[in-house]
Amino acid sequence: MIASAGALKTLVFVLDLGGTFVFALSGALAGVKRGLDFFGIVVLSFAAASSGGIARDLLIGATPPAAISDWRYLVVALFAGTMTFFWHAAIEKVHDSVLVFDAAGLALFAVAGTQKALAFDLNPVMAAVLGMVTGIGGGIVRDVLLNEVPAVLRAEIYAVAALAGAMVVVVGYLLSLPTTAVALVGAFLCFAIRMLALRRKWQLPRVPRGR
Amino acid sequence: MIASAGALKTLVFVLDLGGTFVFALSGALAGVKRGLDFFGIVVLSFAAASSGGIARDLLIGATPPAAISDWRYLVVALFAGTMTFFWHAAIEKVHDSVLVFDAAGLALFAVAGTQKALAFDLNPVMAAVLGMVTGIGGGIVRDVLLNEVPAVLRAEIYAVAALAGAMVVVVGYLLSLPTTAVALVGAFLCFAIRMLALRRKWQLPRVPRGR
Amino acid sequence: MIASAGALKTLVFVLDLGGTFVFALSGALAGVKRGLDFFGIVVLSFAAASSGGIARDLLIGATPPAAISDWRYLVVALFAGTMTFFWHAAIEKVHDSVLVFDAAGLALFAVAGTQKALAFDLNPVMAAVLGMVTGIGGGIVRDVLLNEVPAVLRAEIYAVAALAGAMVVVVGYLLSLPTTAVALVGAFLCFAIRMLALRRKWQLPRVPRGR
């Protein structure tokens, strides 16, 4: 049992750094496309990977945020940024795989973010919202820095997938279900919705523009 | 006396949610105009309604911010966003009434924001500034998310009205005048300046562009 | 010794307000160029001067941030904004001198920001990053408010100079070297790199755009 708890902790840690890495790639690729210099690309990497978690931690009063107190997130972002700077063409070729990892990162961030917000005694509704913010905040800051309307506000089922996963965690918490099982279900639900939305090009409804 | 204190509390609460609602409408309408999807419109609603108060609370160290710890603000923003999604044409027809409510929301937010900053022992000058930030912060975040230079920086008497109301609260605090009366005067002053500025198209001076 | 400590404190204070003033000028000039009104120009002044320090203080949990709890930063920004509003042509004529002061402000902010982060027990790597953020954060917020991709992400040796100065402070801290001497070396290094980069038009590498 102790061994499995240790294994789980290791798994979560690996997934956390993995999610950070994939989100950092998305920031770095966007920076390359906009012609940023090396420093700008690394900043975009770190911002895309960490802004969601930083926003959550500031809002729940958990200062300094994990991404600031632990230097490993910076190293991962630096690594992703450097890789992208030199091999962006190769990374874009495996774009579809990146999207899979991105969905996994989203699932992990949404679930872990919700758990942290609940641990800080936030009310359940807002804990789910902050879980979603953990997942989508990085992409929003990335797009604002690049002077674009955040993609997550315009199209695609992305935030909704994060919110669904976060809500599973909240419902499990309210029903006192076992944490790990609930987290796995929430993460799986988020991942599945996101992957299906990508495959089938699901979109949320918009108001017709030609008003 | 107790009854009237209760009535006042109810009044402030109603006004607070009312201000939140009207600010949320402004965010949602802006989102509809820019072709955001349903989720984006709701995010804009919440951001426009709550960012000013969230910024104030983060800056004075009141975490988690009221708009995060209390789920009712989210519900109001969700309601405003949904309404706007379906009936934006009707809402735009009553645009002039919306501006009146917006001025009322601004007055309330500026006064209440200043009071909260004073309660957290901020020095009076900066308390007035944070009161103003409470009033104008939402509009700034709304415009940044939509990739526009914030309207409040470009034209119109808007921030100045908020600042005037906030300063009344600060002066009353320094002179130990009765809180409620001072708040009413501050709110009225802000509302009056804003309405007059709208009617008479007052603007702040700019540097001539043809330099 | 006490006298020299007092003199040093005065020097740091003068430099701090001086750096604030020069950064505020950069914000105000950018605001004038984009046709903001008087209020917008003052907001840009304050944002450019204080956002870096505010971000650092929020991230390390030092609320309220110094720029909010001390009204003198606001007064300096107000003064810079007003000056620029009336005499922007004259200020632009001395643009080269402004760049020298800007480099001095950057050096001071980076060093002082790193020291503050270390004093709040941040790990050394991230303390250097936050020192850099103190120096470059204001320019980033200024550019985002003006709807531009932050200049610091696109070109020029600016952040790197700040990071170099910050790293000197961290290394000195780890080796327990005398604080004042280390701060002077760090500030000088940052200033020198920035001035050289300006003179020789040094730039960081970019990915070629014609991919």
Q: Could you tell me the pLDDT band of residue C210, with boundaries at 50, 70 and 90?
A: very low
Cβ distance A126 to B58 less than 8 Å, yes or no, reads: no
Residue A95 has pLDDT above 50, yes or no: yes
The average pLDDT across A81-102 equals 84
C145 interaction partners in chain B (CB closer than 8 Å): 140, 144, 149-150, 153
CB C130 within 8 A of CB A131: no
> Measured between CB atoms, which of B65, B70, B147 is closest to A148?
B147
Contacts of B147 in chain C (CB under 8 A): 147
Alpha-helical (H) ranges within chain C are 2-33, 38-60, 66-69, 72-93, 95-119, 124-145, 151-154, 159-174, 179-200
Q: Judge whether residue A123 has pLDDT over 60.
A: yes
A125 vs C: CB within 8 A = no
Note the pLDDT of residue B188.
94
- Cα–Cα distance measured from residue C183 to residue C68, given in angstroms and rounded to the nearest whole number: 25
Asked if C201 has any chain A CB less than 8 Å from its own CB, the reply is no
Q: What is the pLDDT of residue B123?
A: 92
DSSP secondary structure code for residue C155 in this structure: S
Q: Do B205 and C38 touch (CB under 8 A)?
A: yes
Of chain C, the percentage scoring pLDDT greater than 70 comes to 93
Asked if B206 and C36 come within 8 Å (Cβ–Cβ), the reply is yes
Residue-averaged pLDDT of chain C: 87
pLDDT of residue C209: 55
CB contact under 8 A, C126 and A36: no
Confidence tier at C74 by pLDDT (50, 70, 90): very high
Q: What's chain B's Rg over C-alpha atoms?
A: 17
Q: Nearest-CA residue of chain C relative to B144?
A: C145
Instruction: With beta carbons under 8 A apart, name residues in chain C contacting B130.
Output: 68
Chains meeting A at 3+ CB pairs closer than 8 A?
Answer: B, C
> Checking phi first, is residue B196 left (phi over 0); if not, alpha (psi -120 to 50) or beta?
alpha
Q: How would DSSP label each residue in A87-116?
A: HHHHHHHTHHHHHHHHHHHHHHHHHHHHHH
Residues of B in contact with C29 (CB under 8 A): none
Shortest CA distance to C23 belongs to which of C122, C104, C119? C104
Residue of B nearest to C63 (CA): B61
Q: Where are the domains of chain A?
A: 10-200
* Per-residue pLDDT at A210: 45
Q: How far apart are CA A157 and CA B128, in angstroms?
A: 41
Contact A160 B65 (CB under 8 A): no
Residues of chain A with C-beta less than 8 angstroms from the C-beta of B74: 125-126, 129
CB contact at 8 A, A162 and A81: no
With a cut of 90, say whether residue C125 has pLDDT above it.
yes
Interface check for C119 against chain A (CB to CB < 8 A): the answer is no
ipTM entry: 0.86
Q: Give residue C203's pLDDT.
A: 74
Candidates A59, A140, A211; nearest CB to B68: A59
Distance, first Cα to last Cα, chain C? 61
C37–B206 C-beta distance less than 8 A? yes
- Chain C CB within 8 Å of residue B5 CB: no
Residues in chain A within 8 Å Cβ distance of B141: none
* Record: contact A123-B71, CB cut-off 8 A: yes
Residue C1: what pLDDT?
41
How many CB atoms within 10 Å of residue B203? 13
- C88 and B203 within 8 Å at the Cβ level: the answer is no
Give the number of beta-carbon pairs within 8 Å between B and C: 78
Contacts of A209 in chain B (CB under 8 A): 35
Tell me, what's the pLDDT at A75?
94
Nearest chain A residue to C206 by CA distance is: A37
CB contact under 8 A, A69 and C120: no
C83 inside 8 A of chain B by CB: no
Whether chain A has a CB inside 8 Å of the CB on C40: the answer is no
User: DSSP letters along A139-170, please?
Assistant: HHHHHHHTTS--HHHHSSSSHHHHHHHHHHHH
Chain segment A179-209, per-residue pLDDT in tens: 889 999 999 999 999 999 988 877 777 776 5
What are the DSSP calls for chain B, one per residue? -HHHHHHHHHHHHHHHHHHHHHHHHHHHHHHHHTT-BHHHHHHHHHHHHHHHHHHHHHHHT-PSPHHHH-THHHHHHHHHHHHHHHHHHHHHHTHHHHHHHHHHHHHHHHHHHHHHHHHTT--HHHHHHHHHHHHHHHHHHHHHHTTS--HHHHSSSSHHHHHHHHHHHHHHHHTT--HHHHHHHHHHHHHHHHHHHHHHT----B--S--
Q: Tell me: the pLDDT tens digits for C83-99? A: 999 988 888 887 777 78
Question: If you average pLDDT over residues C128-149, what whole number do you get?
Answer: 92
Instruction: Check pLDDT > 80 for residue A162.
Output: yes
Angle at A65 between CA A124 and CA B76, to 5 degrees: 35
Interior/surface letters B135-150, b for 16+ CB within 10 angstroms, e for the rest: bbbbbbbbbbbbeebb
Asked whether B166 and B111 are in contact (CB, 8 A), the reply is yes
Chain centroid, CA C180 distance in Å: 19
**Phi and psi (nearest 5°) for B145?**
-65, -30
Note the pLDDT tens digit of each residue in C8-63: 677 667 777 888 998 999 899 989 988 898 999 999 999 999 999 999 999 999 98
Contact A126 B74 (CB under 8 A): yes
Whether C207 and A39 lie within 8 Å, measured CB to CB: no
Identify which of C35, C69, C145 has the shortest CB distance to residue B150: C145
Ranges of chain B whose pLDDT falls below 70: 1-5, 8, 11-12, 155, 208-211
Helices C38-60 and B159-174 pack at an angle, to 10 degrees, of: 60
Is the minimum CB–CB distance between B119 and chain C shorter than 8 Å?
Answer: no
Q: What average pLDDT does this structure show over A40-66?
A: 93
The answer to whether A32 faces chain C, any CB pair under 8 Å, is yes
Residue B10 burial by Cβ neighbours in a 10 Å radius (0-12, 13-18, 19+): exposed
Chain C residue with Cα closest to B120:
C64
The mean per-residue pLDDT over the stretch A54-79 comes to 92
C-beta atoms of A71 and C160 within 8 A: no
Give the per-residue pLDDT at C13: 74
Return the structure tokens found at A158: 């992305």
Q: Distance of alpha carbon B126 from its chain centroid, rounded? A: 17
Task: Give the pLDDT of residue B76.
Answer: 93
Sole residue written with tokens 């006490």: C2
C209 touching chain A per CB within 8 A: yes
CB–CB contact B154 C36 (8 Å): yes
Chosen for mutation from B37, B84, B141, B144 (greatest number of chain A CBs closer than 10 Å) is B37
pLDDT category of residue A83 using cuts at 50, 70 and 90: very high
Of A123, A126, A147, the CB nearest to B147: A147
Subunit contact C207:A88, Cβ cutoff 8 A: yes
**Residue A209: per-residue pLDDT:** 55
Q: Tens digit of pLDDT for each residue in A3-12?
A: 566 776 776 6
Q: Which of A29, A39, A85, A120 to mutate to test the interface with C (most CBs of C within 10 A)?
A: A39
Which pLDDT does position C208 carry in this prediction? 65
Q: What is the C-alpha separation between C189 and A3, in angstroms, rounded? A: 50
- Residue C56: closest CA among chain A residues belongs to which residue? A64
